């Protein structure tokens, strides 16, 4: 594992930056908070965290001139980590912002959907839940290496992405209905759960991600 991966933690007023930064540092990153366009040569990894509203987040990124920068970064297959809202923003649109018609980054085809009313299940989905991954993604070199199938991670969300490309999906989680709790393409990984709030499993995942892509 590279002991000092230069990391741009994107600040657009929508994230729990302190806990994300601390977890990344424990995983082997040298973290800078960035809230304006940056030189790609200055960083090895970009991280988009986030909690809150989809439309406001997209607008904040545009105001700070970070929207197209993130699109360009990912288009070059540079290492990228998206967390919670930072995962949802990778898609085309969200049911949360359908009245305002604010598009997401559009990296992947698909819509972010709201959990339907399901018996006694409360929305938002909040707390610990299990992740289930493909057999091909197990093993020592995987992002989920040494993290057992059905392991628990921490979630806080009312909406979830529904990727049209099923091959993107690394893990699913069930909350009344199954949904894609993480995806991967190339050197991009994004999750609906919060690694920084998921104890040892979350820290192991971040360490695996760093060692897997560098």
Residue with tokens 């960083």: 43
Residue 194 designated active-site: yes
Q: Is 29 a catalytic residue?
A: no
Q: Pick the catalytic residue: 29, 84, 96, 157?
A: 84
Q: Coil, strand, or helix at residue 111?
A: strand
**Among all chains, which residue has been given the structure tokens 């366009």?**
37
Of 29, 96, 157, 196, the catalytic one is 196
* C-beta separation of 82 from 73 below 8 A: no
Q: How many helices (H) and strands (E) does the chain have?
A: 5, 13
Q: Across the beta sheet with 159-163, what order do the strands follow? A: 91-94, 108-114, 159-163
CA distances 197 to 23, 64, 105, 127, 172, Å, are 9, 27, 25, 10, 18
Quick check: is 84 catalytic?
yes
Closest CA to 211 of 189, 196, 192, 193: 189
Q: How many CB atoms lie within 10 A of CB 120?
A: 5
Active-site pick, 93, 96, 157, 194: 194
Q: Give Cα separations from 106 to 112, 142, 145 (angstroms).
A: 11, 26, 29
Active site positions, annotated: 84, 194, 196
């Amino acid at each position: 594992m590279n002991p000092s991966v230069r990391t741009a933690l994107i600040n657009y007023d929508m994230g729990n930056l302190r806990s994300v930064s601390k977890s990344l540092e424990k995983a082997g990153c040298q973290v800078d908070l960035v809230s304006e366009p940056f030189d790609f040569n200055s960083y090895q990894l970009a991280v988009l965290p986030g909690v809150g509203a989809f439309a406001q987040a997209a607008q904040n990124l545009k105001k700070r001139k970070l929207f197209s920068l993130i699109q360009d970064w990912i288009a070059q297959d540079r290492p990228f980590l998206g967390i919670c809202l930072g995962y949802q923003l990778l898609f085309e649109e969200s049911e949360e912002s359908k009245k305002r018609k604010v598009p997401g980054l559009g990296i992947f085809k698909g819509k972010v959907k709201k959990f339907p009313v399901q018996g006694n299940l409360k929305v938002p989905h909040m707390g610990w839940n299990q992740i289930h991954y493909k057999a091909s993604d197990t093993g020592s070199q995987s992002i989920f290496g040494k993290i057992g199938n059905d392991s628990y991670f921490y979630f806080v969300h009312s909406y979830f992405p529904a990727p049209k490309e099923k091959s993107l999906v690394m893990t699913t989680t069930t909350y009344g209905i199954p949904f894609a709790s993480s995806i991967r393409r190339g050197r991009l990984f994004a999750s609906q759960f919060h690694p920084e709030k998921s104890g040892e499993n979350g820290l192991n995942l971040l360490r695996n991600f760093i060692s897997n892509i560098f």
